[in-house]
Amino acid sequence: MNFAHHLTIIRGGGDLATGVIYRLRQAGFPVVVLELAQPLVVRRRVSVAAAVREGEVTIEGMTARRAASVAEAVAQAYAGLVPVLVSPELPDLPHPPSILIDARMAKRNIDTHLDQAALVIALGPGFDAGRDCHAVIETMRGHRLGRVIWRGAALPNTGTPGIIGGRGAERVIRAPVGGTAEWLVEIGQRVRAGQPLGSVADHPMLAPFDGVVRGLIAPGTVVSAGLKIGDVDAREEVDACFTISDKALSIGGGVLEAILTAHQRGQLPPTASRLSLPTALGIGPAAEIVAFTGAGGKTSLLFALGAALPAGVVMGATTHLAQSELAQSPAVCRLGELAQLDLALRRFGRCLLVGEDEGEKVAGMPPDLPARLLHRPHVRHVLVEADGSRRRPCKAPAAHEPAIPAQTTLVVPVVGISAIGQPVAAA
């Protein structure tokens, strides 16, 4: 079975959602994750939500990367990455998703309903399968964990954390007051009973027993009193702090079962074969300089290809770019600050390189720079918009354009579809 064309939207990127994401990515599903601008996840080292703050995280070989736009997120998903898009609401997508999974673990239905996708799945209590969604996955530890429910609801929330290493509620660290959380320890660190862990608004928090710090909310996060912000594991298994839990993988298995069952029932829509953008353009792992010429979508293609390629992508222009287009890249570096380029590539995987501001535009790079960029240690592909078209759908070469960089390995001519069948004339 090939599920590479069934776009799957997952709302929430916490540790349980990450178990689902891992199972689906291993099975070949393209996944887009929606998260809050300030995620409140505790098990950050095994939560793709951490990419919102960190730019990119890798969990058990699976790379999640913050996406700057819906188009970028979808392109990354089809390229095999896990894009994390800040979007509390469901965004407008280029085509409806095959599958939507509510993995926010809110213990209630916030805004999920049956018509949001061909298959809608929800995790845990607060949902009624057949009314709010097509299937519910049991999330309570015990005999029913991971089971698929096609009619009815999961077991109700008890409000009591599950037993891990013989410890239940006492293993959870909660904010003593409202304020900013700060930590003296790190995830994976061994602690002793009574050891200071950190504080909220100068109110200290102590380790409840000997163990390993399993999770901590991101330092500097503003929290409310009583919110779960930390977790100590009595088992002292440091590796467990950095690997997806048995519970999360069990829930992920339940989600995969629900999808396969729906597929057998003919519930998932038929899809046509879909080529990835790098494959369609013949771009492989070898270092390349790709130049886009013509008109009618060069910039959109530049950013879409940049999102679809593995880490190590520098994007830019030898002409000009509009100031408004800079927001499409997760990182922007100036030509006078090349020392920041390697840092941006390590953190975000790709970076837009531009010159000085010129009103509503920014200057591009000299044509000889892309070849020199390929010698930098973290650069794999350089993508260059090498033509100006003043937003026209079609452009013929001029005496000064296109400005194709030296040592370019691939030239991609672009024309807007609105130009087809139209007379050609000077603008």
Interval 363-386: pLDDT, tens: 999 999 999 999 998 899 999 999
pLDDT digit string (tens) for 387-423? Answer: 876 667 777 777 777 889 989 999 999 887 776 777 7
Respond yes or no on whether the N-terminal peptide bond of residue 402 is cis (omega within 30° of 0): yes
Q: Domain-by-domain residue ranges, the chain? A: 8-159+245-264, 169-234, 277-419
Measured CA to CA, the distance from residue 263 to residue 65 in angstroms comes to 29
* Cβ partners under 8 Å of residue 51, min gap 6: 13, 57, 64, 65, 66, 84
What pTM was computed for the model? Answer: 0.68
pLDDT digit string (tens) for 274-304? Answer: 567 887 888 877 889 999 998 778 888 899 8
Measured CA to CA, the distance from residue 125 to residue 102 in angstroms comes to 11
Q: Quick one: fold of 8-159+245-264? A: Rossmann fold (3.40.50)
Measured CA to CA, the distance from residue 294 to residue 55 in angstroms comes to 32
Measured CA to CA, the distance from residue 67 to residue 72 in angstroms comes to 6
CATH of domain 169-234: 2.40.50.100
- Between 37-41, 249-253, 338-342, 423-427, the lowest mean confidence (pLDDT) is in 423-427
β 179-183/222-223 pair status: antiparallel
